[in-house]
Amino acid sequence: MQPPTYPHTSHALATLLLASCFLASFFLLPPPAHASLTPPIASYTIDVALDVEAKTLAAHEIVTYVNTSAEPIPDLVFHLYLNAFRSADTIYMQEIGHGWGPERTGWITVSDVRLTDGTPLTLEEVEDGTLARAELPTPVAPGEAVTIELDFEAQLPQIFARTGYAGDFFMVGQWFPKLGVWQDGAWNAYAFHANAEFYADFGAYDVTITLPSGYVTGGTGLPVSKVDHGDGTLTMHYHAEDVIDFAWTASPHFLEATRRVDGIEILYLHLPEHAWTIERVLDAAEAAVSHYGSWYGPYPYARLTVVDVPNDGQGAGGMEYPTLVTAGTLIGPAGAVRLLEVVVVHEIGHQWWQSMVAFNEAEEPWLDEGFTDYSAVRVMAAAHGDDTSLVDIGKVEMSYLDMRRAEYISNPQVPMYGRAWEFAGRDYQTGAYSKPVVALSTLERVLGEETMLDVMRTFFQRHQFGHPTTEDLHAVAEEVSDQDLSWFFDGLVYGDGVLNYAVTDVDAHSVTVMRQGDLIIPTEMQVTFADGSTVLERWDGAEAEATFTYPGRPPVRSAEVDPERKLMVDLRWADNGLSRRLEISPWLALITRLLYNLQSALLALGGL
Amino acid sequence: MNGWTAFRTGISRVLRYRQVVVILFAVNLFSALVLAALPAWGLAAGLGRRPAIRQAADGVDAWLVIETLASWSTDETLRQKVISLGSVPAAGVALMAWLSGAFLNGGVLLTYAEDGRSFNKLGPDPSGRNSPDLQAAPSVEAPEALSSDGPNAWRFRWRRFLWGCWHWFGAFLLLGIAQTVASVVLFVLLVGGAMGAVAAVGGWLTWVIVPLLILVAVLWLALIECTRIAAVIEGTRNIVQAFSGAVRFVLRHVPSVVGLYGPALLLLGLVHALYLWGIMPNLPLEWWALLLVVQQATIAARLGARLVRLAGGVALLQP
């Protein structure tokens, strides 16, 4: 551990500062909107100063931890996430394999760790320095609390992975010594891995940020006070309850745009060059907050802050923190390509599926990313149409679900369940995002929309402010749907099997269907006869091939397995149906278009 | 002659020699039909009996495109099918465009250049070596009385058209290759330079560079087309000589060239805009017969707009 260098605020100055903040709070800004909704476990009071030239933080932190387990806890384990960027040799940088450089250096050093009675503690770095452990002189007994103080100094990296600076823009996340989660008799805390995100207990955060006047800030929770010291600096005081993290942002260029939705203030901190995003971001945020609120449960906080990031700081975009998310100002034709909306809707979804239902993102990333993205698919469809939720350019349409299905079927043999760092390469994207979206959408179509919504709502309300796992989801889903869902959990969540159903032959009086892949999901087949009559067959898919015969009926015209396309996980829908004869009219329609495109190409290339 | 007058002259010549539009349209359609045959057969064999083709017929269905693209890396059979069915038309389009363009341009330009002149006066040299002396001929748009050749002076002459096609075929083949290479090099240099400049100076420079690039593109297009026009008007098959003549002309008459190419490209843009935003959004794609008529009419209109530009260019370059 490096020696302490932080010249922390004197008690007199701190007292004066707090008094100023307290007074200012009466005149400037509203108090926090609600009392605690859940008993705090890990709470933090942090007084931090930002040096905008050196891009450093100097802070004093007080942590109060309540032992809610049944056993005494002998030590405390902290995450020191910024140390992931202190060299190219950290686990994080090794897993990324590129990108580290002197300008991207980040680190955090902790000093003067002590109990509130002054008893000094020793903080020892663990693994690559992104974890640190402090032995307590006396274990924390069940039901008891321990409070420690520490000072820390941190260097922010140039933004490339969520946190840091880009010019005079600062997105400060994963920035303070933060406790792991005590569960099953041990600290659940892993070194910072490239794919892994975060896991923390709920608590209260009280954070004061001192930085140059002229900077506009945003942070988790609500601003309590703003004090201009008259010496070119100001102090912003934020307070948040029932949250698992605290992140903040600052820029002298931020402008504010607000909208109220269901009593919640949506604050969009945007940069002047991205003024074109204001309405789109606020519309997306409104759709997200109102839909998620009505589907799962209300957003219980008074404010939701959406942060715009500069073009050279896009590495901070598309990230979620409690009551604060960052957008991604990806350029796309307004109203046609809705990547901007997708990012906003997705990140806000994490308010429900991470910030309130706090999954272990390191051990089960599919839960928070999958639930969030599945929810985002639904919001985008509700707001912009089932087929046009992502792209709507004339006859070219694409839904957000289409995009996720594309990712899935190009790399389908990946389980969803697994620790973040156990997924290699693009398997993480498939396992945590696209496959869960496609699988949950399949489950929705099989169970029915209302039942699926009931499952999701029950799961949310039962585990709000908790740390549920895949097993908890399994229990709720089977309880609410009253069905055996082992095909979903064994086949799709834990398994890497794939499925393609196809009609392989249509005769006058028989139809042959085939299953490719070892994933089995019961389905239906619709047979249409020459007189227009139809039959809907159930097929359990257990056998790799099955033939259905229809003696004494009119000749079969066509057959289609899974005619309603419930099985989003089916790798190829194009072979789901087969007719006895050529579909002449649509074939001609396609040839007509092909002909025109060839004629256009001839014109363009040859000057005909 | 200024650009606007040349543009109007181009319209009148295109309307006068409607046979040219018909010939070019027929060649375009026939070439496309030949190229479409193989994919059409492949589509019938691969998807023709699948009900999925019904969804594909009513627009660009994302899921079908996605399945095809996603299966690209995993399905060897599909990959081979698409390559075998797609590579022939892809290569064929370039080859056909090059050959038919090189062949037809000579006849088209000669027809417009000889507008109002008699076949006998401007006929091919009996030796077969010398090209017609078009510069000695009366100016275009000459009243019938001045041409002294009677009403036949404005008739489309098949033999002259075919003679023009054959006479400049070799030269225009070579010119096509040279100009394709030069266009690619110029594109890379200009776009690369523009991107570098924007990155170095700032985003605001885009507002200056994009109009400049458009102007350069228009002038380059004019240069390419004027080279062929100059070859026909000057009666040469020496493409270097024709290119030099075109460069001299374009550089000396930039306002006239822009005056012609501006409205001519605007006309082409209007045809495209009408098709893309006026007609297609309201036309169900599965109504293939109506779609066929609309699309072929659009192709004919685009051909006409292009020919107006060529005919106007001929009028502009003729003394």
- How far apart CA A520 and CA B155 sit, in angstroms, is 74
Rounded mean pLDDT, A562-571:
95
- A303 forms beta bridges with A265
Instruction: Name the residue facing A599 among B281, B288, B299 (closest C-beta).
Output: B299
Percent of chain A with pLDDT over 90: 84
Same domain, A529 and A426: no
Q: Look at residue A488 and tell me whether its pLDDT is greater than 60.
A: yes
Q: What domain range is A458 assigned to?
A: 365-493
Label residues A380-409 b or e (16+ Cβ within 10 Å = b): bbebbeebbbbbbeeeebbbbbbbbbbbbb
Number of domains in chain A: 4
Same domain, A113 and A189: yes
Q: Is the ipTM of this structure higher than 0.90?
A: no
In a domain, A605, yes or no: no
pLDDT of residue A334: 60
Mean pLDDT computed over every residue of chain A: 92
- How far apart CA A482 and CA A510 sit, in angstroms, is 35
End residue of a domain, out of A460, A493, A526: A493
- CATH code of A506's domain: 2.60.40
pLDDT of residue B120: 38
pLDDT of residue B143: 34
- How far apart CA A447 and CA A416 sit, in angstroms, is 20
Same domain, A186 and A317: no
pLDDT of residue A4: 32
Number of domains in chain B: 1
Ranges of chain B whose pLDDT falls below 70? 60, 73-74, 116-154
Q: Do B64 and A406 touch (CB under 8 A)?
A: no
* Position A295 confidence tier, pLDDT thresholds 50, 70, 90: very high
Most confident of A73-77, A312-316, B59-63: A73-77
- CATH code of A345's domain: 1.10.390.10
pLDDT of residue A1: 33
The verdict on A276 touching B (C-beta cutoff 8 Å) is no
pLDDT of residue B71: 72
pTM metric for this prediction: 0.79
pLDDT of residue B39: 87
Same domain, A204 and A63: yes
Same domain, A395 and A488: yes
Same domain, A230 and A194: yes
* Position A331 confidence tier, pLDDT thresholds 50, 70, 90: low
Q: Do B306 and A603 touch (CB under 8 A)?
A: yes
φ/ψ (deg, to 5) at A320: -115, 140
Which of A128-137, A251-260, B162-171, B251-260 is the least confident region? B251-260
Q: Do A608 and B104 touch (CB under 8 A)?
A: yes
Same domain, A370 and A390: yes
Chain B residues with CB under 8 Å of A310 CB are none
What is the SS3 assignment for A226-258? EEECCCCEEEEEEEEEEECCCCEEEECCCEEEE
Residues 277-296 of B with CB under 8 A from A: 280-281, 285-288, 291-292, 295-296
Q: What domain range is B236 assigned to?
A: 3-317
Rounded mean pLDDT, A67-71:
97
- How far apart CA A69 and CA B265 sit, in angstroms, is 77
More confident residue, B42 or A551: A551
pLDDT of residue B31: 93
Q: Look at residue A15 and tell me whether its pLDDT is greater than 60.
A: no
Same domain, A469 and A520: no
pLDDT of residue A547: 96
* Position A335 confidence tier, pLDDT thresholds 50, 70, 90: low
Residue A303, classed as helix, strand or coil, is strand
A375-396 pLDDT tens trace: 999 999 999 999 889 988 876 7
pLDDT of residue A34: 55
Same domain, A247 and A259: no
* Position A103 confidence tier, pLDDT thresholds 50, 70, 90: confident
Same domain, A32 and A161: yes
Which of A23-37, A98-112, A311-325, A500-514 is the least confident region? A23-37
pLDDT of residue B116: 64
pLDDT of residue B129: 42
* Position A16 confidence tier, pLDDT thresholds 50, 70, 90: very low
Structure tokens at B241: 């000589």
End residue of a domain, out of A493, A528, A557: A493
The verdict on A393 touching B (C-beta cutoff 8 Å) is no
Q: Do B32 and A583 touch (CB under 8 A)?
A: no
- How far apart CA A551 and CA A177 sit, in angstroms, is 74
End residue of a domain, out of A464, A493, A522: A493
A169-205 pLDDT tens trace: 999 999 999 999 999 999 999 999 999 999 999 999 9
Which of A207-216, A325-334, A398-407 is the least confident region? A325-334
Q: End-to-end CA distance of chain B, in Å?
A: 9
Residue of B65, B67, B73 to mutate, interface with A, max A Cβ within 10 Å: B67
Chain B residues with CB under 8 Å of A579 CB are 49-51
The verdict on B106 touching A (C-beta cutoff 8 Å) is no
Label residues A92-111 b or e (16+ Cβ within 10 Å = b): bbeebeeebeeebbbbbbbb
Could you tell me if B246 and B229 are in contact, meaning their C-beta atoms sit under 8 angstroms apart?
yes
pLDDT of residue A332: 58
pLDDT of residue B136: 41
pLDDT of residue A419: 96
Report the gap between the CA of B186 and the closest CA in chain A (Å). Answer: 17
